[in-house]
Amino acid sequence: MNLNKISLVILVCILSLAVLSPAMAKKTQKFPEVTVDGLELVKQSKSGVVYAKPGASLATYKQVKLLAPAVAFKKNWERDQRHSNSITAKRLSPKDIDKIKTTLATEFNIVFTKTLEEAGYELTDEIAEDVMIIRPAIINLDVNAPNAGSNSRDRVYVDSAGEMTLYLELYDSATSDLIVKAMSRKADNAFGGFYTWANSSTNKIAAEKILSGWAKILVNALNESKSIRPAE
């Protein structure tokens, strides 16, 4: 195997650890071997998929330009919420829905920035040969108890705060080349199968846990790639 490709495989292997519980795992979707932009399928599982540019390496990047994440709900999420038995969900307004997306995007930036900086990576807005651009998106967001704030007298009990999928693209800032694209689906299972009262605080904690896990995956991949030395 090309040693440059090993650093990308590390990212793949770590991403594979973000596995869903057996009850929530779905049949693995078949993905093409090569994307239209020339990236090759490196790994796929029930929880995610990773494509990488042949021969690319993550080892040369010391700085990161982190773009603001786009956030999109699961298809028909709003309609399903309004048809649910939850009183708080039926009260959802467009402003409430927008606030959920904005809050999650902000939390993403806080968590990823903190994790990257603590690992020694400098965040920048500049373009340079050692700068990697991270373009994230959170898709298929499914919040089980939206707007169930602590001030509400209507309590909602759930066995999971919900789930979301991270779609990540890594670019070389100097060349604009797409190096890696990855997708990882993660569900909250903090309640261990038991039904618990959900509120804005528990939703925030669940989101932070998932985001922190993804941020550590990225940092571990970057660190591991720097420990690999080409063969003499």
Question: How far lies 220's CA from each of 8, 33, 72, 79, 145, in Å?
Answer: 11, 26, 27, 39, 32
pLDDT at residue 196, rounded to an integer: 43
Give the closest residue to 65 by CA, choosing from 176, 231, 230.
176
Please list, in sequence order, all residues whose beta carbon lies within 8 angstroms of the beta carbon of residue 39, skipping any fewer than 6 positions away: 51, 52, 53, 178, 180, 181
Q: Which residue has the tokens 């956030």?
A: 71
Task: Tally Cβ neighbours within 10 Å of residue 111.
Answer: 20
pLDDT at residue 192, rounded to an integer: 44
**223 vs 151, higher pLDDT:** 223
Question: How far lies 10's CA from each of 7, 33, 198, in Å?
Answer: 5, 19, 36
Q: How confident is the model over 184-189, as a mean pLDDT?
A: 75
Q: Is 139 left (phi over 0), alpha (psi -120 to 50) or beta?
A: beta
Give the closest residue to 48 by CA, choosing from 198, 218, 166, 187.
166
Residue 144 and residue 162 in contact, taking contact as beta carbons nearer than 8 Å: yes
Query: Binning pLDDT at 50, 70 and 90, where does residue 215 land?
Result: very high
CA distance 193 to 210: 17
- Range scoring the smallest mean pLDDT among 3-7, 95-99, 225-229: 3-7
**77 vs 181, higher pLDDT:** 181
Percent of the chain residues topping a pLDDT of 70: 66
Percent of the chain residues topping a pLDDT of 90: 27
Question: Is the pTM higher than 0.85?
Answer: no
Please list, in sequence order, all residues whose beta carbon lies within 8 angstroms of the beta carbon of residue 194, skipping any fewer than 6 positions away: 159
CA distance 147 to 142: 13
> pLDDT per residue over 21-44, tens digit each?
333 344 556 778 888 888 888 876
Q: Which residue has the tokens 């990225």?
A: 218
Structure tokens at 91: 């009260």
The residues spanned by each domain of the chain are 3-226
CA distance 104 to 64: 20
Q: How confident is the model over 203-225, as a mean pLDDT?
A: 85
> pLDDT per residue over 127-140, tens digit each?
999 999 999 999 98
CA distance 66 to 62: 13
Q: Is pLDDT above 50 for 158? A: no
Q: How confident is the model over 223-227, as a mean pLDDT?
A: 75
Residue 185 and residue 142 in contact, taking contact as beta carbons nearer than 8 Å: no
pLDDT at residue 8, rounded to an integer: 53
